[in-house]
Amino acid sequence: MSKIPSDLKYTASHEWIRREADGTLTIGITDHAQEALGDLVFVELPDVGRTLAAGEACTVVESVKAASDVYAPVAGTVVAQNEALMRAPECINQNAYDAWLFRLQPTDSKAFDALLDATAYAKEIG
Amino acid sequence: MLKQTALNTLHRAASARMVDFGGWDMPVNYGSQIEEHHAVRRGAGMFDVSHMVVLDMKGDDVRAFLRYALANDVEKLQTPGRALYSCLLRDDGYVLDDLIVYFLDESFFRIVVNAGTADKDAAWFESLRVKHALAVTIHRRSDLGILAVQGPNARDRVWQVLPDAKPATEELKPFSAAAVTTIVTDPDSELFIARTGYTGEDGFEIIAPHDVILTLWQQLSAAGVRPCGLGARDTLRLEAGMNLYGQDMDETVSPLESGLTWTVDFKDASRDFVGKAALLAHPATRHLVGLLLLDSGGVLRAHQTVHTDHGDGEITSGTFSPTLGRAIALARVPNAVQDGDTVSVAIRDKQLKARVVKPPFVKQGKILIAV
């Protein structure tokens, strides 16, 4: 059974989102997603300063098995990327909620509230 | 409804991630696929390959039948137990399947074919038999399962749980098999043990009734042999430079353009075989090569386009090699492309450099290409 922390928000495309004290959003992929992908071996992150539309493919994660896109959960501007992941993609398998991918300054601060909560995401993945 | 092997309940109890593979519900990985891969390169791992199909062929004409039906020449098989890898071709020279054929005696050959192609193969063999009115019976052994135990310690682990099998199997050369009667589920369980595999490591493939396979799996697991899924099986075979039917060759290509020229035997000019005329009439213009990704920026995957100085080619199988820590691939490219050439591969929006190398990449734990 995959972990779904109750203090995070989620998308149906398996991103998790945490709102930081400064209003930025930290984004990663869920435990369910890393389990489905298997051993991760490559990560390509969005450049800092890039403007993303909601739902825009902006990150690529590749496991031994397959390549998969990660989508911006809301519109915003990239303010940080987790560079360490590019050298150690397996950190995502070890703890998907620790291994964040990138941080967004959301265009609309309320967009976060409309994302799925843990219960809704649990239902989503059945 | 997916078909299940006798080990299905055990796979699920071990939290295996299951996939539809050729109509069968099979484990792709239990935990980390990379660790399963390393277990086979460094110790011993085992694979449930009971989805593969055993066809026993018997009768006075069986050797003549297989000399005609297969692209490789079973005339090479003269010692009981010896095995041969071959393609099964259509009349137009394209590949219906690849298989291993074992010679047991003059009236008994055993063939192991892929799961997804077994029905097609059986129908094809049957049509050839009828057309040429040969004295051969073809018996599909649905009562048998197959367990592959692979790795530098694999044979020792098998002998540990089957000590009585050691005398009959310790002198087996690679690509040879022996029938063994020993205690597993009952005092005289019958096993067919072959020193073959699909990983580039030493080991055995064991063909036996399903209940024997189930008991052996549990005994080997208790002896420290790691259960491995089809995911690790794929990275191991690709490192070993072995083709996968349906990816590296199929009914749209010739074996001569699939790295399988060594398996098509034209030596005996008097031997006709299915596909021979077509292969002679159509020389290969492309060949299958290995690729090692030089740049970082992604993983080589099937269907990516390969740009070379001599025209474009395509990756047929690609993955991340756990042993090399780099992406590797098999690719079909124009004949003029040579080992050592630098080519570029389109991965998403980038062109990444790769070097043409001669497979295998890794065999028996050793890296065989310059990295």
Looking at per-residue pLDDT, the higher value among B371 and B301 belongs to B301
Tens digits of per-residue pLDDT, B41-97? Answer: 999 999 999 999 999 999 999 999 999 999 999 999 999 999 999 999 999 999 999
Tell whether A42 is covered by a domain.
Answer: yes
Instruction: Decide if pLDDT at B136 tops 70.
Output: yes
Provide mean pLDDT across the span B345-371.
96
- Of the candidates B189, B230, B187, B232, which has an alpha carbon nearest to the alpha carbon of residue B210? B189
Tell whether A1 is covered by a domain.
Answer: no
Tell whether A38 is covered by a domain.
Answer: yes
Tell whether A35 is covered by a domain.
Answer: yes
- Cα distance between residue B254 and residue B90, in whole Å: 10
- Of the candidates A111, A107, A103, which has an alpha carbon nearest to the alpha carbon of residue A82? A103
Tell whether A125 is covered by a domain.
Answer: no
The CATH code of the domain that includes A78 is 2.40.50.100
Residues in chain A: 126
**Where do runs of H (alpha helix) occur along B207-334?**
210-222, 230-239, 276-281
Q: What percent of chain B has pLDDT over 70?
A: 100
**Which pTM does this prediction carry?**
0.97
- Cα distance between residue A62 and residue A68, in whole Å: 6
Tell whether A121 is covered by a domain.
Answer: no
Tell whether A95 is covered by a domain.
Answer: yes
Residues in chain B: 371
Mutate to test the interface with A, among B34, B233, B350 (most CBs of A within 10 A): B34
The domain of A90 spans 9-116
- Cα distance between residue B56 and residue B45, in whole Å: 28
Contacts of A60 in chain B (CB under 8 A): 298, 348
Pairing relationship of beta strands B95-105 and A102-106 according to DSSP bridges: unpaired
Count of structural domains, chain A: 1
Tens digits of per-residue pLDDT, B9-42? Answer: 999 999 999 999 989 999 999 999 999 999 999 9
Q: Which residue of B has its CA nearest to A36?
A: B17
Kindly determine whether residue A62 and residue B320, on different chains, have CB atoms separated by under 8 Å. yes
Tell whether A81 is covered by a domain.
Answer: yes
Kindly determine whether residue B33 and residue A41, on different chains, have CB atoms separated by under 8 Å. no
**A55 interfaces chain B, CB cutoff of 8 Å:** no
Residues 6+ apart with CB under 8 A from B257: B284, B285, B286, B287, B288, B332
pLDDT, residue A1, reads 67
Contacts of B39 in chain A (CB under 8 A): none
Provide mean pLDDT across the span A8-17.
98
